Homo-oligomer: A and B are copies of this chain.
Amino acid sequence: MEEWQSAMKNFETAHGGITAPRGFRACGVQAGIKERGLDLALVVSDRPAVIAGTFTTNRVEAAPVKVSRSRMSGGIARAVVANSGCANACTGAEGLEDARRMALKVSNGLGVAEETVFVCSTGCIGTRLPMDRIEPAIGEAVKALSEEGADSAARAIMTTDTVDKQVAVKFSVEGRPVHIGGMAKGAGMIEPNMATLLGFLATDAAVDCGALRRCLSSAVAASFNRITVDGDQSTNDTVLFMANGVAGNAALDEKHSDWPVFNSAVGYVTEKLAMKIVRDGEGASKLVHVTVRGARTPEDAEKAARAVCRSLLVRTSWHGGDPNWGRVIAAVGCSGAEVREDLVEIRYDDTVAVRNGVAVEEMRLDALKRVLSGDSFSVCVDLHRGDGSFGILTCDCSEEYVRINSEYAT
Contact = CB atoms under 8 A, between A and B. Distances in A.
Given A230-B313, A359-B126, A402 B405 contact: no
Interface string A371-407: 0000000000000000000000000011101110111
B341 A60 contact: yes
A87 B356 CA distance: 18
A389 B41 CA distance: 43
A247 interface: no
Contacts of A398: 402, 406
A405 B56 CA distance: 32
Task: Kindly report how many copies of this chain are found in the complex they form together.
Answer: 2
A87 B326 contact: yes
A312 interface: yes
Contact of A330 (B125, B332, B409): B125
B232 A402 contact: no
Name the residue among A233, A338, A354 with the largest chain B CB count within 10 angstroms: A233
A109 interface: no
Contact of A125 (B58, B125, B322, B327): B327
A281 B312 CA distance: 14
A122 B313 CA distance: 16
A145 B272 CA distance: 64
Contacts of A102: none
A326 B126 contact: yes
A289 to B, nearest CB: 20
A91 interface: yes
A358 interface: yes
A233 B125 contact: no
A195 interface: yes
A235 interface: yes
The 7 closest A-B pairs by CB, nearest first: A125-B326, A60-B333, A320-B406, A316-B405, A399-B399, A233-B334, A59-B339
